[in-house]
Amino acid sequence: MKRIPLGCQKFDRLLGGGIEGGSLTLLYGEAGAGKTNVCLQFARNVAKGGDRVAYIDSEGLSSDRISQVFSGL
């Protein structure tokens, strides 16, 4: 299965090249650990590669934050 890099060399190396494409991946951890940032960066890399991505947020992520992450695509 194709692996999609997160864009952080240490994470990508730890994950064997990135997150497996075509799969559902759950990130969990304490508040403030960076889960949202990892997911947003991953979604950005998928979109940057020309693929479609769905990002589902249940915590009320601001549109300003999404614009900040996805600017320049």
Give the list of residues 6+ apart from residue 3 with CB closer than 8 angstroms, or none.
15, 16, 17, 18, 19, 20, 21
pLDDT of res. 56: 84
Split at pLDDT 50, 70, 90, the class of 73 is low
Domain residue limits, the chain: 3-70
pLDDT per residue as tens digits for the range 3-46: 988 888 998 999 999 988 888 888 899 999 988 888 888 888 88
Tally of helices (H runs) and strands (E runs) in the chain: 3, 2
Split at pLDDT 50, 70, 90, the class of 48 is confident
